[in-house]
Structure 1
Amino acid sequence: MRESNALLLNGAVRPVAQPLSEHLRGIRLLQLAIATGDLLVIVAATAAAALGRSSLTVFSVSNDLNAVAQSVGPWIALGWMAALAGAASYRQGSLGVGTKEYARVCTATGSTAGLVGIISYLTTFQLSRGYFVLVFGLGLPGLLLWRWACRRYVHHLHLQGHLLTRVVIAGESSHVDDVASVLNREAWLGYRIVGALLPPSQRLTATSSGVPVIGTTDEAVGSVFESRADLMVLTEGALPSSADFRRIAWDLEGHHVQMAVVPSLSDISSGRVTMQPVGGLPLVHVGQPQSLGASRIPKRLFDLVGATVLLLLGLPLMIVTAIAITLEDRGPVLFRQTRVGRDGVLFECLKFRSMVTDAEAQLSGVSHLNANADGVLFKAQHDPRITRVGRLIRRFSLDELPQLVNVINGDMSLVGPRPALPSEVSRYAPEVERRLHVRPGLTGLWQVSGRSDLSWDDTVRLDLYYVDNWSIVQDLSILAKTFHAVVRPRGAY
């Protein structure tokens, strides 16, 4: 009877789980290390909470309640770890990329705290409120700090060539190059492109960007196995129908090869994208661009409060910088330059002077040093017009501190596209003018992504991404990354 049933399968092979690949074994070890660290942080938080409750005079202490706190700690730790696992905080796709990992840690912590509170209430369990506050007040920051440190270490491993995900990209040559350029640019993500699969009509040995062609989309599964790929990325034009996609998914079952689909969308944040299945058809809904939100009252209040606080904190440093500039050549402290603000309105942008006093007059004499001769911006890594003090303050972006006054005046924002010169704007393509829909920023995605090392196209892409996907959370993230960007020498000239 079993033989008869086997004949009805028409030769189809039942999927069998394959041994873990070297890459996946590394991921499993990473997940185990992160989970072990989480457990140590939680145990430390429960122990510190028990010790702190008995030591701090703000809490009333009794021996009975201390005994209760010590006995309940292991159960809180066990429940907390279960919540972290249940919230998928150890899922491979969320480790080291995006903010979902942090969100899941916060969700698991909140669920654990809520469950402990509910159980204590329903069972009239005498759990000290001081202990409860200390456990989660210490545990959550500790977990987030631990996850951040792990993420930094994983990114370092990726840049050193370890724990890399071997990627095969399938689709038309131009789309393969688009995806490859992103993965190669963001090397910290840990993707290593091992080859491309092109439609049979495109008979090439390599794409225009140099990705080797290892097969056609008709023989995708065999090529993926031969290249020992960990991830197959399907771009536009990869497969002619959904049935082909389903067949490839069946053939890859059990082989630990992930599949990813790149839709015909780019530079759209995850916050604007939602997926809703309709009759088995996955519809991707894309929210409207957020340039209007970046010009409204909440962002303006954020700028006013933030710029005022930063100006007060940075005032001593600004005074020292001003004195150093004056002592070097007795010239003016500030450099005032006309820039283009929101909707094309001109304003006077303030900076600490970092060049000789007649720098504008000498511009024609150093034009041959422009590293971006074909672009809109003037970039010279060794500009002789820069003074000794100017080179130092540019190195740490101190020359831009006076722009906090521009932010308070409403000409600029703390975060936004770089303020452009009128001569630059006159050369803008129509789509680039969208950068002017929001106030220019003291810092921005361009600042935390390479500064002057960025090409003009990359600068435009980052600025347009910011305009279209603005959010307060993104502003806070950029401000947090700015400090790290300014203490590195990369792109600071």
Structure 2
Amino acid sequence: MTERTSVRTDGWESMYSRRLVITDVLALVWVVFGVQIAWFGFDSREVAGSPADLALGYTFVSVILVVAWLFVLALYDTRDPRYVGSGAGEYRRIVDSAIRLFAFVAIVAYAFKLDIARGYIFIAFPVGVLLLLLTRWMWRQWLNAQRRSGRFSAQVVLVGSTPSVEHIARELIRHPEEGYRVVGACVPSGEIGSTLGMTVVPILGRIPDAVTALRSIGADTVAVTSSDDLGAQAVRELSWELEGGREHLIVAPSLTEVNGPRIHTRPVAGLPLIHVEMPRYDGSALFLKRAFDIVGSAALIVALSPLLIVLAIVVKMTSAGPVLYRQERIGLNGVPFDMLKFRSMRVNADAELSALLAAQGKGDTPLFKLDNDPRITPIGHFLRKHSLDEFPQLFNVFFGTMSLVGPRPQREGEVALYDAAASRRLLLKPGMSGLWQVGGRSSLGWEDAIRLDLYYVENWSITGDLVILWRTVRAVLAPGSDAH
């Protein structure tokens, strides 16, 4: 059974890699030759060099460029199963390989004094990168869908102490698109026939039974979590029992909610030490974030000004009261500020909140949300579903009380319920959007909302902000059932 499972796993990886090669070839041929035709037409222009006998047709140059680009994509492991399907590593390698190829072409052109049309090069490279990223993103959506249905994933047996195994199992089950499907666990109790905590993961035996359990169910990966019963020598012996190339070993430390760029592995005296960089909330990175907020909010205010005017008129005409609604929220370092929104509720709605919360039994819970809130105006439902009521917050961003991306802005009463961990949300400015906006919106419970916000605070970056903004645009244009 182990052999059949391994063949299936290797097969999908090879199949997926071949499909990536095909789409990479098609994308590069389309871009490079398309730019050549757009720039020169169908004539036979040549690239002249300093040697008298050097004359290369642009068709030949395009062929060489496509072949070289495919070579560097392979050289930088852009189709390696370790990077494809999840994380930013695949995309980062595509961009890095293109930059290095561009630099190499520039050096060769300079060294041999080749007169290559600048427009041909300066258009082909960025368009080629964008198309490669688009095709890889499309394949990733397909792969994620396959993984959510249980296919194309490593079949994992977790080994370690019961609390650590339960924790890792919950995280992997929460994210099936990452490519790890938990099929069993080996814990100190070894109660065969029972399940792991609140999950449906079966317990297959005690810790020493890991390899036997792995092969009994046809799994291909052992993931070791922390355990007092599994020391360094035991992990080494476990690795010796696994069949190289077909069965795999993963060591999963109890370090979660930390993004990849903050983690660096360094071998020291035979020990694979994991260095975790502490998040910084000052310096050049924070300055760059503020500059991004100013430029981004200003551009959006100008671009969306006609829509803002229309929405203001609609709000004014459909219900009595002011167009804008100001509400005090808690911002950076606990400092309160007035957050702007298009009014989506009737006047004096805040005065009704306490009584309505008490009626629904939610007076002492965080995230003050009401079911079927009767205070919302008819147009307010539409504004909220598509997040149009939040557009005036662009002015909050421009003037510095909010950020384009950040933790969810919350009220003083909600902040009063914070524990020490939740208080770390106040280390960054609240955002118009964030992981909470693209990860569930109104359907999120308190624990999930805090988890997403803390993950953002601990791992924020400009690249991550761009990804969240892109996902926000999709969420606004096509809101799901969790938006209300």
The TM-score normalised by the length of structure 2 is 0.90
Structure 1 residues 476 and 108, CA, compared in 2 at 3 Å: closer, same or farther? Answer: same
CA distance in 2, matches of 1:62, 1:72: 12
Q: Which residue is 1:35 aligned to?
A: 21
Stretches of structure 1 lacking an aligned partner (at least 5 in a row): 1-15
CA offset digits 1:299-342 (Å, max 9, x no partner):
22221221111112222212211211222222221221111111
Q: Which amino acid aligns with 1:53?
A: W
Q: Which amino acid aligns with 1:38?
A: D
Q: Which residue is 2:46 aligned to?
A: 64
Structure 1 residues 232 and 76, CA, compared in 2 at 3 Å: closer, same or farther? Answer: same
Q: Which amino acid aligns with 2:237?
A: R
| Equivalent residues in 2 for 1:378-393, closer than 5 Å | 378-393=368-383
C-alpha contact (below 8 Å) 2:187/2:203 kept by paired residues: yes
- Secondary structure of the residue aligned to 2:96 is helix
Once structures 1 and 2 are overlaid, which stretch shifts more, 125-134 or 214-223?
125-134
Structure 1 residues 77 and 124, CA, compared in 2 at 3 Å: closer, same or farther? Answer: same
| Equivalent residues in 2 for 1:171-186, closer than 5 Å | 171-186=160-175
Equivalent of residue 430 in structure 1, options 420, 430, 441: 420
Q: Which residue is 1:283 aligned to?
A: 273
The TM-score normalised by the length of structure 1 is 0.89
CA offset digits 1:406-464 (Å, max 9, x no partner):
12222211111111111111121122212112211111111111112111111111212
C-alpha contact (below 8 Å) 1:290/1:469 kept by paired residues: no
C-alpha contact (below 8 Å) 1:221/1:252 kept by paired residues: yes
Structure 1 residues 375 and 238, CA, compared in 2 at 3 Å: closer, same or farther? Answer: farther
| Equivalent residues in 2 for 1:435-474, closer than 5 Å | 435-474=425-464
Structure 1 residues 408 and 139, CA, compared in 2 at 3 Å: closer, same or farther? Answer: closer
Q: Which residue is 1:225 aligned to?
A: 215
Identity of counterpart residues, as a percentage?
36
Q: CA deviation at 1:381?
A: 4.1
CA distance in 1, matches of 2:380, 2:108: 62
Q: Which amino acid aligns with 2:246?
A: H
Structure 1 residues 125 and 308, CA, compared in 2 at 3 Å: closer, same or farther? Answer: closer
Once structures 1 and 2 are overlaid, which stretch shifts more, 307-316 or 371-380?
371-380
Equivalent of residue 315 in structure 2, options 325, 334, 342: 325
CA offset digits 1:139-173 (Å, max 9, x no partner):
22211111111112222222344323322211112
Q: Which residue is 1:106 aligned to?
A: 95
Q: CA deviation at 1:374?
A: 6.5
Matched, 1:21 2:3: no
Q: Which amino acid aligns with 1:489?
A: G
Q: Which amino acid aligns with 1:52?
A: A
Q: Which amino acid aligns with 2:29?
A: V
Structure 1 residues 266 and 323, CA, compared in 2 at 3 Å: closer, same or farther? Answer: same
CA distance in 1, matches of 2:304, 2:98: 36
Q: Which residue is 2:76 aligned to?
A: 87
Tell me the number of residue pairs that the alignment of Structure 1 and Structure 2 aligns.
Answer: 474
Structure 1 residues 371 and 296, CA, compared in 2 at 3 Å: closer, same or farther? Answer: farther
C-alpha contact (below 8 Å) 2:44/2:57 kept by paired residues: no
- Secondary structure of the residue aligned to 1:362 is helix
Structure 1 residues 41 and 172, CA, compared in 2 at 3 Å: closer, same or farther? Answer: same
Quote the RMSD (CA, aligned, Å).
2.6
Once structures 1 and 2 are overlaid, which stretch shifts more, 367-376 or 185-194?
367-376
C-alpha contact (below 8 Å) 1:371/1:381 kept by paired residues: no
